[in-house]
Amino acid sequence: MKNLVVAIDGPAGAGKSTVAQLAAKELGYTYIDTGAMYRAVAWKTLQRHEPVTDELILDVVKDIDVNLQYIDGKTRVTVGNDDVSALIRTPEVSAIVSQVAALGPVRVKMVDLQRKMAERGSVLMDGRDIATNVLPNADVKIFLTASIEERAHRRWKEMKEKGYDIPLEKLQQDIAARDKADSEREISPLVQAEDATLLDTTGISIEEVVARILAMCQ
């Protein structure tokens, strides 16, 4: 198997982490979920129990120790000694993560860690700015998307399985707001790289999407 660097970008709910994990497993690669890193910073910010301001976030990120490990096909996210893998997936974290991810010093620190993790190749990294900024020399670049209705429905199912009963309409509004914030921010906005392949997953099964990604990695 080739020692490729694969970049997958796209909006919230496009199915990036689901298909990226399956494709990484098939390829025997390490999967790196960069969104989890921004979520970890958001989680640590909430732990301060203070109004969330840019100043507070910048103070939190100064000495944060975020670590991603990919073990047995699962991502383990730690902040210091705390395993936050599940804690970073709450609606509270989702509500402030775009604010966190828009701040320059936060991005500089996370991008530096992400580049180090990709140094040895055989990685599949997903996020918003992987092909455009983190790994512009990636061997394979994919922009994964789906209609907003389908993305909201996927999130609704995912949250329901976790015990959250959030109205579909509310989720659709949240996703639209996050899309807007992620696409319109000044630093490394969510945008399809010129040399990325667009993969619209609306109405396509997970297996089919994975098969298309694997075909691009031949």
Site residues for ligand DC per CB under 6 A: 12, 34-35, 38-39, 97-98, 101, 127-130, 178, 182
DSSP 8-state code for residue 103: -
Give the residue with the Cβ less far from ligand DC, 35 or 90.
35
Tokens of 164: 């959250």
Indicate left, alpha or beta for 28 from its phi (over 0: left) and psi (-120 to 50: alpha). left
Minimal distance, residue 36 CB to ligand DC, in Å: 6
Give the residue with the Cβ less far from ligand DC, 29 or 114.
114
Burial class (CB in 10 A: 0-12, 13-18, 19+), 95: middle
DSSP 8-state code for residue 133: I
Give the residue with the Cβ less far from ligand DC, 128 or 154.
128
Minimal distance, residue 215 CB to ligand DC, in Å: 24
Tokens of 158: 């995912």
Minimal distance, residue 218 CB to ligand DC, in Å: 26
Tokens of 67: 């670590």
Distance in angstroms (rounded) separating the CA atoms of residues 50 and 217: 46
Minimal distance, residue 99 CB to ligand DC, in Å: 9
Give the residue with the Cβ less far from ligand DC, 187 or 198.
187
